[in-house]
Chain A
Amino acid sequence: MGRMKFIIGGLLILGAVVYLIFSSTQASAEYFLTVDEVNAKGASIVGKNLRLSGAVVGDTIQYDPNTLTLTFQIAHVTGDNNQVEAQGGLAAVLHAAVIDPNRSRIKVVYNGPKPDLLKNEAQAIMTGQLGSDGVFHADELLLKCPTKYQDAVPSQTTK
């Protein structure tokens, strides 16, 4: 009898933890997508939490310092690290993506100060939602420049 009490108690805790993990995962999961995948899925992912990455196209960066509205385009880059390595590393892949006029692109809108690392051929990693107009509304914008990639900085420095 005494033993039973503890087993039931333990199962209850286990159930609660499993529920917590799964419900929280569902509520806050972010889908990692590339530009091609976003364009392919289109309307089906409008409004979901997405994490999108791509290469910043320098010519398209526009910034209004009064309203702190930042818009730019990103070009498709593969999400597979092995492919990145095979194609000569991140810097080469980003460069190739930006100079290729046939590469699919997506427009990004972000409200906030313009980050220092936002420049041509930087890798942008954004979280946000896709609007029904096909524009990506970024809530958070992380940037990586391949030249700085080597530095042993904890990754939160990019926030």
Chain B
Amino acid sequence: MLAEIGYGILVVAFFVALYSVGAAIYGDRKKSAAIVESARRAMLLLWPLITLSAACLIYLLVTNHFEVSFVYEVTSRSMPTYLKVTAWWGGQAGSLVFWSWLMSAFASLVTLRTWTRDREFLPWVIVVTSITTAFFIGLAVFYENPFAFMWFDKSGQVIKAMFQPVGSIPVPPPADGNGLNPLLRHPGMIIHPPMLYLGFVSFVIPYAFALAALITGRTDDRWIRITRRWTLVAWLFLSAGLVLGSRWAYDVLGWGGFWGWDPVEIAALMPWLTGTAFLHSVMIQEKRGMLKHWNMILIILTYALVIFGTFLTRSGVLSSVHAFAQSAIGPAFFAFIGVTFITSIALVIYRWPELRGETEMKSMLSREALFLLNNLLFMSVLVVCFWGVIFPLISELVTGQKITVGPPFYLRATGPLFAGLMFLMGIAPLSAWGHSTITTLGRALWKSAAAALVITVVLFFTYTKNAIALTGFFLIAFVLLVTLVEFWRATLARMKTQNENFLLALWTLVGRNRRRYGGYVIHVSMMLMAIGILGINVFQIDTQKSLSQGESISIGDYTLRFNDLKQFPNMVNGQEERYVNRAEISLFENGKLLTTLYPRYDVYPDGQPMTLPGLYSTLKGDVYVILVNWESSSASLAPFKVFINPLVNWLWIGSILFIFGILIAAWPERETELVTARSRRAHQTSAAD
């Protein structure tokens, strides 16, 4: 009964969403504030409705209603309650409801603000958010219904449907469910999808305002100012989602790395690339009134990639691009992306003349030119990623021969682009708006560049002779030095003029210019992450060997001795939850005992294995040992694979600093916003002279 109620509410929500779209458009045409208000109220009703429907679904999940197909697929009796709740987004059908729920929450939040200054945007923001919500609810209602029951059709096949199809008989409720895949029962995996989704959904808000600006013709930077914080929040969650996913892969998948250039990973990375470019180029529009076309195109692309990413990350196993078409909801997704994308681009073309820059770009080294270059490089990385994903399809169409590209392709093609971005990160903050020359830039930068070169030479003699690594380290050192010197100089200046002590000066400096210094903190964090990424990609070494008890294996400066192996069932509520194989390994560095590691190999009752590495982690690098495939060996002989992942810890340290940087940048600062608006106006008058 509850399943029917949950489904019924979802259907109602679908029509309410459609009503709010229709009423908003009609109200805008008729210039009737009352009808627009009705559309807004309808939209505000969506969140409570979807919440109710979701509550029904969660109740069914928690109380083992296995007659519901989705519940049967993603939960089982042995799962603890919190996992049954999180199973809501553990499968495709449920995650569609989850997406709509987040979308309606954010749309409601944004309409609760005061609209007096931006009345004309309101109907169109409602239209965009409600269409997006309606699309996701519609998918759940018509294609992937989380409340559907299972039936035997005439030929005895199990089919899923809400109401009894003609000639079918109900499947007797199964005694137990399939359960969530054990690999997904990890804290990182429980919060990773919601983080990504939060990031995806928050990007819809700036997109909605961008379209509202295009439709109403109010194409100044007002839409950007309103949504600046939404963009930062979206960026924060998307970044956190990517990092958490990487950490999960590192901890659970047991292949020694955290990023495999898998299409699913790339699908989540692509909106991050356009979003990051957008984040940078909106500053140019705010400060100089330029790059307006760019900003529109970037946010439209981000929205399209968000929808695409949602589809790709939740469409199940994706072994090749061919899998797209095999999913039932694939065509619906592509149609939606196609229609929204073409409509948006048509609007940009329609408003093209109004989106012209207010000033012309003159100097190639001016800050706006460097920001444009930054945008181009981000777009180039995007093109590389997109090419890598679609290349198998193209090659098959053109030559009849399926050819794929793997991680070496992405590393080779994106490496120089990322190096270019790092270089820009070093020079752009010191270039001036409007006009910069080699001489002025050189004067500001040469000390940092020289110091970075010295560091690189030291590293050449003490650490590595690898050219790629040295280039990377030079750029990292350069950006870190430039950025830290910026902090240092501005703080010292403040100490002198304001008579403050160092900490107070630093505090007020950052507090008064949160955006600028938050951005610098983010740049520093990116460099720390780059150290980790460079470390694992350039210096990773691995070895493997089967060890009998007491035997050792050596790699780098380390020696690992296999002491013992314990095998026991892990019981939960009197039931065997999984069978644990746990090895005990002593880790020595140059003969000195460091620690004991416990790599594990767990097998779940359905045969699904899970490889948990033993990890010794320092700032210098990680020793990552896995016990591979217990089944094929005897108790006295176990195969191990050992990785040395130098410097990888800096990636996680950088990630934490990164979040801190975004919080600084996103913290409300009313004062300076007014100041920049005023100074911009002043600038415009002077430009007009």
Residues of B607-639 contacting chain A, CB below 8 A? 608-609, 628-629, 631-633, 637, 639
**Given A2-B360, A151-B317, also A24-B260 (CB < 8 A):** no
Docked Cα-Cα span, A144 to B317, in Å, equals 10
A-B contact pairs, 29 of them (CB 8 A): A17-B380, A17-B383, A20-B412, A20-B413, A20-B416, A21-B413, A24-B409, A24-B413, A27-B412, A28-B412, A29-B405, A30-B403, A30-B404, A68-B545, A68-B546, A81-B326, A113-B628, A113-B641, A114-B628, A115-B629, A116-B609, A125-B319, A144-B319, A152-B90, A152-B184, A155-B262, A155-B263, A155-B318, A159-B260
* Closest chain A residue to B546, Cβ basis: A65
Is the CB–CB distance between B92 and A152 below 8 Å?
yes
B residues apposed to A, CB below 8 Å: 90-92, 181, 183-184, 249, 253, 255, 260, 262-265, 313-314, 316-319, 322, 326, 360-362, 364, 369, 373, 376-377, 380, 383-384, 387, 391-392, 401-406, 408-409, 412-413, 416-417, 544-546, 608-609, 628-629, 631-633, 637, 639, 641
Q: Please tell me if the beta carbons of A65 and B264 are within 8 angstroms of each other in the complex.
A: no
Whether the pair A28, B629 counts as a contact (CB closer than 8 A) is no
For the complex, what is the distance from the CA of A155 to the CA of B314, rounded to whole Å? 11
Q: Who on chain A is nearest to B256 by CB?
A: A159
Contacts known (A2-B360, A66-B546); A152 close to B322, Cβ less than 8 A: no
The B interface is mostly helix, strand or loop, or mixed, namely: mixed
Q: Does A79 contact B (CB under 8 A)?
A: yes
In the bound complex, CA of A17 to CA of B414 (Å) = 9
CB B423 to nearest CB in A, in angstroms, measures: 13
Which residues of A have CB within 8 Å of B376?
10, 13
Chain B residues with CB below 8 A from A79, complex form: 402
Decide: A155 near B317, CB < 8 A? Known: A31-B401, A66-B546: yes
Which residues of chain A come closer than 8 Å to B609, judged between CB atoms? Answer: 116
Q: Collect the chain A residues with CB atoms within 8 Å of residue B263's CB.
A: 155
Cα–Cα, bound, A90→B444 (Å) = 63
Q: A32-B401, A113-B629 are in contact. Are A152 and B314 (CB under 8 A)?
A: yes
Asked if A25 and B404 make an inter-chain contact with CB atoms under 8 angstroms apart, the answer reads: no
Q: Is A88 an interface residue (CB 8 A)?
A: no
Within the complex, what minimum Cβ distance (angstroms) separates A121 from chain B?
Answer: 15
Chain A residue nearest to B416 (CB atoms) is A20
B391–A25 touching, CB < 8 Å: yes
| Further contacts, 13 of them, CB under 8 A, given A13-B376, A151-B181 | A2-B361, A13-B380, A17-B383, A25-B391, A32-B392, A65-B639, A113-B632, A151-B317, A152-B184, A152-B316, A155-B264, A156-B249, A159-B255
Note all chain A residues with C-beta closer than 8 A to B416.
16, 20
Min CB distance B428 to A, Å, is 15
Q: What 0/1 pattern do residues 45 to 68 of A give for CB contact below 8 A with B?
A: 000000100000000000101101
Q: Which of A16, A116, A152 has the most CB of B within 10 A?
A: A152
**Which residues of chain A from 118 to 149 have any CB-CB distance to chain B below 8 Å in the complex?**
125, 127, 144, 148-149
Q: Which residues of chain A are near B184, meaning CB under 8 Å?
A: 152-153
Contact of A32 among B361, B373, B402 (CB under 8 A): B402
From A23, A28, A113, B406 is in contact (CB under 8 Å) with A28
Known: A32-B402, A113-B629. A152 touches B91 (CB 8 A): yes
Complex-state Cα separation, A24 to B184, whole angstroms? 34
Q: Is A101 an interface residue (CB 8 A)?
A: no
Chain B residues with Cβ below 8 Å from A6 are: 361, 364, 369
Most A C-beta atoms less than 10 A away, residue of B316, B360, B361: B316
Nearest-CB residue, chain B, relative to A29: B403
B380 near A157 with CB under 8 A, answer no
A113 nearest CB neighbor, chain B only:
B628
Chain A proximity of B339: nearest CB distance (Å)? 27
Q: Shortest distance in angstroms between B274's beta carbon and chain A's nearest beta carbon?
A: 16
Q: Compute how far the CA of A20 lies from the CA of B420 in the bound complex, rounded to whole angstroms.
A: 13
A128 to chain B, nearest CB (A): 12
Q: How far is the CA of A155 from the CA of B262 in the complex (A)?
A: 8
A interface size (C-beta, 8 A): 45
B380 contacts A30, C-beta separation under 8 Å: no
**A42 within 8 Å of B by Cβ?**
no
In the complex, the answer to whether A21 meets B387 with C-beta atoms within 8 Å is: yes
Contacts of A9 in B (CB 8 A): 364
Residue positions of A touching B, CB distance < 8 A: 2, 5-6, 9-10, 13, 16-17, 20-21, 23-25, 27-32, 51, 63, 65-66, 68, 79, 81, 112-116, 125, 127, 144, 148-157, 159
CB–CB A25/B409 < 8 A? yes
Are the CB atoms of A116 and B631 closer together than 8 Å? Answer: yes
How near does chain A come to B341, taking the closest CB pair, in angstroms? Answer: 22
Cross-chain contact of A21 among B249, B318, B383 (Cβ < 8 A): B383
Which residues on the B side are within 8 Å of A13 (C-beta)? 373, 376-377, 380
Flag if A21 contacts B384 (CB, 8 Å).
yes
Contacts of A24 in B (CB 8 A): 384, 405, 408-409, 412-413
Q: Which residues of A contact B545 (CB under 8 A)?
A: 68
Pick the most buried of B184, B255, B380, B413: most chain A CB atoms within 10 A of its CB.
Answer: B413
Which of B91, B253, B319 lies at the interface centre, i.e. has the most chain A CB atoms within 10 A of its CB? Answer: B319
B364 touches A5 (CB 8 A): yes
Q: Which residue of B lies closest to A81 (CB)?
A: B322
CA distance A30 to B408 in the complex (A): 11
Residues of chain B lying within 8 A (CB to CB) of residue A30: 403-406
A149 to B417, CA, bound (A): 36
The listed residue (B369, B384, B546) touching A20 by CB distance below 8 A is B384
Closest 10 CB pairs of A and B: A32-B402, A113-B628, A24-B413, A28-B408, A28-B409, A24-B412, A159-B255, A17-B380, A113-B639, A65-B546
B183 and A153: CB pair below 8 A? yes
In the complex, the chain A residue whose C-beta lies closest to that of B317 is A155
**What is the minimal beta-carbon distance from B493 to any residue of chain A, in angstroms?**
34
**Which residue of the partner chain A has the closest CB to B360?**
A2
Cβ contact within 8 Å between A154 and B384: no
| A107 CA / B165 CA spacing, docked (Å) | 49
In the bound complex, residues from chain B placing their C-beta under 8 Å from that of A66 are 546
CA of A2 to CA of B319, assembled, Å: 49
Task: State A27–B264 Cα separation when bound (angstroms).
Answer: 23
Report the Cα distance A33→B92, complex, angstroms.
Answer: 32
Q: Within the complex, what minimum Cβ distance (angstroms) separates A49 from chain B?
A: 9
Minimum CB–CB distance from A65 to chain B (whole Å) comes to: 5
- A residues near B360, Cβ cutoff 8 Å: 2
What chain A residues lie within 8 Å of B417 (beta carbons)?
A: 17, 20
Q: Are B544 and A154 in contact (CB under 8 A)?
A: no
* Docked pose: A147 CA to B391 CA in angstroms: 29
Q: Is the CB of A156 within 8 A of B265?
A: yes
List of A residues within 8 angstroms of B403 by Cβ = 29-32
**Residue in chain B with minimal CB distance to A10:** B376
Asked whether A156 lies within 8 Å of B413 as measured between CB atoms, the reply is no
Q: Is the CB–CB distance between A154 and B406 below 8 Å?
A: no
A27–B403 CA distance with the chains assembled, in angstroms: 12
Closest to A123 in B: B319
Inter-chain CA distance A42–B69, complex, in Å, is 48
Separation of A112 and B181 alpha carbons in the complex (Å): 26
- Expressed in whole angstroms, the minimum distance between the Cβ of A118 and any Cβ of chain B is 9
B391 surroundings in chain A (CB, below 8 A): 25
- Complex contacts, A51 vs chain B, CB 8 Å: 404
**CB of A61, distance to nearest CB on chain B (Å):** 10
The distance from the CB of B190 to the nearest CB of chain A, in whole angstroms, is: 14
Is B637 in contact with A65, judged by CB distance below 8 angstroms? yes
